[in-house]
């Protein structure tokens, strides 16, 4: 559901009033109530398994015992998860019984390990759910009412079990289930930017999860907890190291450490991938060159792949950042990105490994506009990559900005698989100090119509291979959880890990549904509190855009990617400055990417091209991305651009105050520890929003020569 700014404010305040008619955080009633809830630290994420309120009684009738077929490690995980989760939610021991069948038994298994499931005539369903999907049905066996969670594989059964528990946790009816699910995308991966020394690039939740100096001998229990959290969402892989890769990740001693992680994650269906440095043949192998067309280099990569698969039989493959931001790559040797990707792909192909080659390249000799460069490079190479290469493309053409139009490469590559790269770690969106739910941002991206094959060719359908048929599909997220107790720094940053997993499984899910699910799993099933939290989350990204970079503005920051620095005009390269993008001057502001400007709009299919090109049709949220406008340009509201810009910044700062009020109203509904920790972060956010508003408008006011209108 899309809500306006005004609706968000009104809904939040109304919900707050309903929760605390006599006041909010400072009320005696709220203060007393807050002490009655046990404090939580956020470690359990969305897997708290709190009693589901009024739904618990009905659940007890349906879940009387657990029967999990099979003897594999994954079957053991399912058995333990269902037993502990249902016992916690239902307030008493739910027994495991794999011999006797009684009414209210939850049966889990596959046709390969369960005669009960094999006997069902579900042949048509088995093919539909594939290797990772599942079926959940309320049925009768031996004239007893049971719930069957069935799949073709143990991993599918694990995903089905987590889905069943999610239904229970969120208070949904489970007595008449008949559903079948399977993932829309094949590769659903976490991308970690962790370094061997324990630091995390763009990490805001402490040091690296991976205790590199202790592996492989010592295995932290947190590794399994991480894999469990991923599996609960259907995330099936993790790239464990920074894309700015240390080449020695491929050294023999480090590969044994990678193998230790892989061994622990395998029962959860989480495969290990690594970021490979293109210069590894030189830096690790001692060769004189990393030229991808050199036979010695090809042989080195093949031998390295054989070594890896000898340790990790289900190794996923390599992620590569090449010839980008100082990283080595094939262009160093006069070769193309296809040449570079293919030498690695040939090495991995005998083992069914994949190469994910990042399209985040922006050499300034390609085009003066950074936003155009990746499209130009990769469209020329379409069809020249090996079948096991996928091009990993960021959601927008610049760099995870608070708002960008979708990258024009989506739909443009017809013979090369493309997967999307999104970012949960909030590098440009408040860095775990600001509450920003990104489900709405990603849905805006996924629902964007590329018109690659006419109307309805959404990015989501492109990724799923429904527009240009593709044998490889996927979506990945730069997530960067760390050693902070709550994993993500900000309690609400957990929602972005959760939202990524749910959208990678099913890009058609609504941001609102995901927000409500996460809220009920993480905080409470109280309907009034859920309404407050859902509304707060649904408006939070738009609020952030308003007080930082509205109306298509982008990159108004410095090297920390956090604080406002619109005056930033000095950096090692022009496209790392802010002035390169906003181009503010006395005559106006904005980057002209129209047909009369640098022609960037022409990288989009018609009629998207025409919409962005025509200033009267271009959505105003992208106005200054595509158009350079005079300060007195008249907006659709009737305001001139300067006044509209001021109004956005003023509204954003006000909306953070509304978020604070909404959160304070939940005192007594949220445990005291988490309530205070979020309140403290919201105080930082409010101060930062005011700083953004004041410094941005003061700076741009120097060019507009106009006063800031009084806020309404």
| Other beta carbons less than 10 A from residue 310's beta carbon | 12
Catalytic position from the list 421, 427, 592, 671:
427
Looking up tokens 């792909």 gives: 345
Among 435, 417, 361, 372, which Cα is nearest to 679's?
A: 435
Calpha distance 699→703 (Å, rounded): 8
427 catalytic? Reply is yes
Q: What angle (nearest 5°) sits at the alpha carbon of residue 434, between those of residues 397 and 27?
A: 155
List 391's β-bridge partners, or say none: 357, 418
Catalytic position from the list 39, 325, 364, 632:
325
Looking up tokens 């003023």 gives: 650
Among 204, 188, 315, 203, which Cα is nearest to 249's?
A: 315
Calpha distance 382→413 (Å, rounded): 6
> Using only C-alpha atoms, what is the Rg of the chain?
26
Looking up tokens 């990288």 gives: 603
81 catalytic? Reply is no
Cα torsion 491, 496, 501, 506 to 10°: value is 130
Calpha distance 192→424 (Å, rounded): 11
| Contact between 459 and 528 (Cβ < 8 Å) | no
Q: What is the DSSP letter of 54?
A: G
Name every residue whose Cβ is closer than 8 Å to that of residue 385 and which is 6 or more positions away in sequence. Answer: 338, 341, 342, 345, 357, 391, 416
Catalytic position from the list 69, 399, 512, 655:
399
Calpha distance 442→503 (Å, rounded): 9
Cα torsion 224, 434, 48, 502 to 10°: value is -70
Name every residue whose Cβ is closer than 8 Å to that of residue 189 and which is 6 or more positions away in sequence. Answer: 235, 236, 237, 238, 239, 273, 316, 474, 476, 477
377 catalytic? Reply is no
Active-site residue list: 325, 399, 427
């Amino acid at each position: 559901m899309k809500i306006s700014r005004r609706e968000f404010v009104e809904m939040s305040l109304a919900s707050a009033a309903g929760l605390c008619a006599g006041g909010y955080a400072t009320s005696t009633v709220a203060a007393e109530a807050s002490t009655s809830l046990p404090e939580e630290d956020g470690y359990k994420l969305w897997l708290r398994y709190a009693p589901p309120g009024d739904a618990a009684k009905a659940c007890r009738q349906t879940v009387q015992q657990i029967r999990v077929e099979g003897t594999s490690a994954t079957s053991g995980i399912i058995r333990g998860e269902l037993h502990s989760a249902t016992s916690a939610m239902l307030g008493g021991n739910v027994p495991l019984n794999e011999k006797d069948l009684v009414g209210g038994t939850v049966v889990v298994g596959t046709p390969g390990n369960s005669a009960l499931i094999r006997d069902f005539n579900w042949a048509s369903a088995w093919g539909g759910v594939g290797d990772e999907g599942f079926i959940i049905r309320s049925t009768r066996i031996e004239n007893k009412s049971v719930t069957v969670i069935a799949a073709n594989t143990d991993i599918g059964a694990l995903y089905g079990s987590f889905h069943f528990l999610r239904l229970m946790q969120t208070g949904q009816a489970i007595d008449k289930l008949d559903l079948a699910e399977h993932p829309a995308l094949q590769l659903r991966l976490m991308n970690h930017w962790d370094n061997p020394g324990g630091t995390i690039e763009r990490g805001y939740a402490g040091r690296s999860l991976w205790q590199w100096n202790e592996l492989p001998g010592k295995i932290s229990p947190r590794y399994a907890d991480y894999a469990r959290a991923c599996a609960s969402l259907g995330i099936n892989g993790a790239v464990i190291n920074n894309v700015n890769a240390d080449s020695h990740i491929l050294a023999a001693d480090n590969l044994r450490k990678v193998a230790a992680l892989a061994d622990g994650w395998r029962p959860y269906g989480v495969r290990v991938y690594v970021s490979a440095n293109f210069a590894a043949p030189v830096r690790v192998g001692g060769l004189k060159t990393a030229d991808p067309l050199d036979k010695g280099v090809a042989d080195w990569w093949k031998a390295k792949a054989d070594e890896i698969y000898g340790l990790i039989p289900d190794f996923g493959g390599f992620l590569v950042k090449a010839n980008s931001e100082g990283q080595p790559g094939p262009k160093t040797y006069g070769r193309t990105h296809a040449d570079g990707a293919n030498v690695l792909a040939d090495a991995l192909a005998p083992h069914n490994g994949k190469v994910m080659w990042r399209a985040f390249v922006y050499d300034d000799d390609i085009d003066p506009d950074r936003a155009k460069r990746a499209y130009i490079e990769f469209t020329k190479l379409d069809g020249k990559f090996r079948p096991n290469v996928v091009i990993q493309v960021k959601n927008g053409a610049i760099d995870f900005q608070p708002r960008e139009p979708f990258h024009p490469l989506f739909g443009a590559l017809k013979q090369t698989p493309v997967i999307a790269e999104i970012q949960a770690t909030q590098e440009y969106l408040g860095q775990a100090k600001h509450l920003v739910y990104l489900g709405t941002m990603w849905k805006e991206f996924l629902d964007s119509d590329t018109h690659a094959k006419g109307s309805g060719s959404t990015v989501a359908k492109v990724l799923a291979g429904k527009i240009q048929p593709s044998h490889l599909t996927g979506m990945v997220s730069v997530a960067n959880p760390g050693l902070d107790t709550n994993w993500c720094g900000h309690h609400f940053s957990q929602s972005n890990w959760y939202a990524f997993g749910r959208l990678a499984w099913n890009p058609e899910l609504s941001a609102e549904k995901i927000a409500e699910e996460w809220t009920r799993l993480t905080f409470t099933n109280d309907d009034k509190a859920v309404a407050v939290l859902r509304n707060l989350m649904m408006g939070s990204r738009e609020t952030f855009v308003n007080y930082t970079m509205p109306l298509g503005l982008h990159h108004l920051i410095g090297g920390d990617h956090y604080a406002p620095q619109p005056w930033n005009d000095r950096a090692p390269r022009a496209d790392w400055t802010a002035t390169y993008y906003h181009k503010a001057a006395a005559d106006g502001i904005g980057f002209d990417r129209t047909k009369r400007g640098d022609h960037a709009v022409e990288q989009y299919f018609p009629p998207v091209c025409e919409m962005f090109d025509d200033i009267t049709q271009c959505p105003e949220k992208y106005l200054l991305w595509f158009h350079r406008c005079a300060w007195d340009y008249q907006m659709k509201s009737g305001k001139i651009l300067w006044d509209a810009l001021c109004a956005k910044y003023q509204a954003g700062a006000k909306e953070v105050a509304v978020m604070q009020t909404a959160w304070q109203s939940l005192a007594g509904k949220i445990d005291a520890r988490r309530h205070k920790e979020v309140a403290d972060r919201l105080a930082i956010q409010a101060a930062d929003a005011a700083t953004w508003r004041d410094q941005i408008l003061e700076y741009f006011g120097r060019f507009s020569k106009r006063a800031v209108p009084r806020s309404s």
